[in-house]
């Protein structure tokens, strides 16, 4: 998703600063039977029923003294300790405000991870004015979700999570939360879009809404007209810092899966395939002599990982995972995340132009951090070959100049023409390894294979390259349209 240059994705907790009503049954049950397709005349009754289950969350964190001095008691400068927010020992306390909602009568609460991250103390403020201390049950940085637990002498009012797969664009929704510290605020709107990707994590699948969401709404519920939580309000896009009608919520089905794991184990366990992949567009799929509008290509395989043990290879074009179509990296990531650790899954792929199915037993993801693969700039003089590039064979001098390791073989790209077919696809320093599944070792060999491919211009040219990134050298697969001059 492209974000406008003047806008910013804002996590909507606030850096500035009440419930239990006896409830044996979810407050969501009280509004069953409402037709969500009919425009309501008022949200009054729905808001009144749901408000007791929505909470305001305030946190505090003690920051050790660093940099700025602490002035001693009695000093003329003592007043500046308070100005800088420091106590007599030089410590400074920071706080934040957010929202949340109760999902069980015994006190489990869902909010955003960024609302409670690094907090020393967490207070939960209920609609009736009571304040209860909360314990952190577990949190998941990738989905920005957290589960808290409070103890109450009476059952707490709570709400249910909806089946977000049934939510449709145009459905009415209401957001209840604590924007800018104004607790118990209600705003209404519709679902504007689904399946939004903000590049915030591997599980991005946001619901977009135009209901007003602002700082402090983070972790609060987005309700459907049935009184069920269809999403957890998490972020907005805004050039001003306030709501402009573009807010995002984590869908409730993902919230169910993550919160259940956090309550059961205190952490989220994810399945692991052990590969890096890139998106394959329709042109790349065609270059593999396959059909369809998308897929993913394996660009790196982790040693001793599940894919390596199953004989998956770099360059394989994955089209189906567990019988379900794979159209993008995001889709494959979602399918893997939803698969049980240890389950054996059939993967349908294309290798060397031939279809095959390989069974892979998924492992458990240990390291959540994925190194970024960044790009570098291009030189753009004119080049005369059909690729629109200048190429060079690999010798010791070239390897030193481009930092190419000894185990990488092929032909290096030294310049890319701004008017050539490869502009925007190949980069200076790329090493061409294969042309249409055939290895290349010299510039002459490479040019001959490209010229040979030009005799069948309706078939895209497939290039297998090695490319340097922040995490080292990785494989990349690129299609070149030979019909363009």
Q: Is 218 marked as a binding-site residue?
A: yes
| Rounded (5°) CA angle 286-292-296 | 80
Residue 458 tokens, joined = 């309706």
C-alpha distances out from residue 182 to 44, 55, 177, 379, Å:
18, 12, 8, 54
Pairing of strands 221-224, 229-238: antiparallel
Length of the chain: 485
Q: Spot the catalytic one: 13, 99, 140, 144.
A: 144
For residue 219, the number of C-alpha atoms closer than 13 Å in the C-beta half-sphere is 37
Q: Given the DSSP bridges, would you call strands 411-416 and 438-439 parallel, antiparallel or unpaired? A: unpaired
The token duo for 438 is: 């055939």
- Among 14, 114, 203, 205, the active-site one is 114
Q: Are 350 and 278 in contact (CB under 8 A)?
A: no
User: Catalytic: 144?
Assistant: yes
Q: Which among 218, 243, 417, 422 is annotated as catalytic? A: 218
Q: Rounded to an integer, what distance in angstroms lies between the CA atom of residue 456 and that of residue 423?
A: 21
User: Has 142 been labeled as part of a binding site?
Assistant: no
The answer on whether 114 is annotated among ligand-binding residues is yes
250 close to 234: Cβ distance less than 8 angstroms: yes
The verdict on whether residue 144 carries a ligand-binding annotation is yes
Reduced to 3 states, what is the DSSP secondary structure of residue 396? helix
Any known ligand binding at 217? yes
Please report which residue ranges of 359-474 form alpha helices under DSSP H. 396-402, 443-453
Give binding residues as ranges. 114, 144, 216-218
Which amino acids are annotated catalytic? Answer: 114, 144, 218
Give binding residues for substrate as ranges. 114, 144, 216-218
């Amino acid at each position: 998703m492209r974000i406008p240059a003047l806008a910013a994705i804002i996590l909507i907790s606030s850096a500035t600063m009440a419930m239990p009503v006896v409830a044996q049954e979810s407050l969501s049950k009280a509004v069953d039977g409402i037709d969500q397709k009919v425009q309501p005349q008022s949200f009054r009754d729905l808001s009144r029923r749901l408000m007791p289950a929505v909470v305001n969350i305030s946190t505090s964190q003690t920051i050790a003294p660093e940099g700025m001095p602490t002035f001693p008691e009695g000093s003329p400068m003592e007043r500046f300790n308070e100005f800088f927010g420091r106590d007599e020992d030089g410590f400074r306390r920071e706080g934040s405000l957010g929202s949340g909602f109760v999902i069980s009568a015994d006190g489990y609460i869902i909010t955003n991870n960024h609302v409670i991250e690094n907090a020393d103390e967490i207070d939960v403020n209920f609609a009736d004015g009571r304040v209860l201390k909360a314990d952190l049950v577990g949190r998941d940085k990738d989905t920005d979700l957290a589960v808290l637990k409070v103890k109450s002498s009476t059952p707490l009012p709570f709400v249910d999570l909806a089946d977000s797969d049934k939510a449709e664009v145009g459905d009415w929704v209401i957001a209840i939360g604590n924007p800018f510290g104004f607790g118990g605020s209600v705003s209404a709107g519709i679902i504007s879009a689904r399946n939004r990707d903000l590049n915030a994590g591997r599980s991005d699948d946001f619901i977009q809404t135009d209901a007003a969401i602002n700082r402090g709404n983070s972790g609060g519920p987005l309700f459907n007209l049935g009184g069920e939580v269809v999403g957890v309000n998490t972020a907005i896009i805004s050039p001003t810092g306030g709501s402009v009608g573009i807010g995002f919520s984590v869908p409730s089905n993902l919230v169910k899966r993550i919160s259940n794991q956090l309550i059961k184990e205190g952490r989220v366990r994810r399945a692991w395939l052990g590969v890096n992949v890139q998106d394959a567009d329709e042109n790349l799929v065609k270059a593999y002599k396959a059909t369809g509008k998308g897929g993913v290509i394996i660009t790196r395989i982790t040693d001793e990982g599940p894919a390596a043990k199953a004989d998956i290879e770099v360059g394989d074009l994955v089209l189906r995972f567990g019988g379900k179509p794979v159209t993008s990296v995001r889709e494959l990531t979602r399918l893997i995340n939803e698969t049980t650790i240890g389950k054996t899954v059939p993967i349908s792929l294309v290798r060397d132009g031939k279809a095959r199915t390989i069974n892979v037993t998924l492992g458990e993801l240990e390291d959540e951090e994925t190194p970024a693969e960044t790009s570098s700039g291009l030189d753009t003089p004119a080049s005369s070959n059909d690729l629109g590039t200048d190429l060079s064979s690999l010798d010791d001098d070239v390897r030193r100049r481009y930092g190419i390791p000894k185990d990488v073989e092929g032909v290096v790209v030294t310049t890319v023409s701004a008017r050539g077919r490869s502009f925007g696809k190949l980069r200076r320093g790329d090493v061409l390894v294969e042309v249409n599944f055939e290895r290349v070792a010299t510039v002459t060999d490479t040019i001959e294979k490209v010229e040979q491919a030009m005799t069948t211009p309706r078939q895209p040219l497939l290039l297998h390259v090695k490319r340097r990134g922040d995490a080292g050298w990785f494989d990349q697969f690129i299609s070149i349209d030979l019909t363009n001059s």
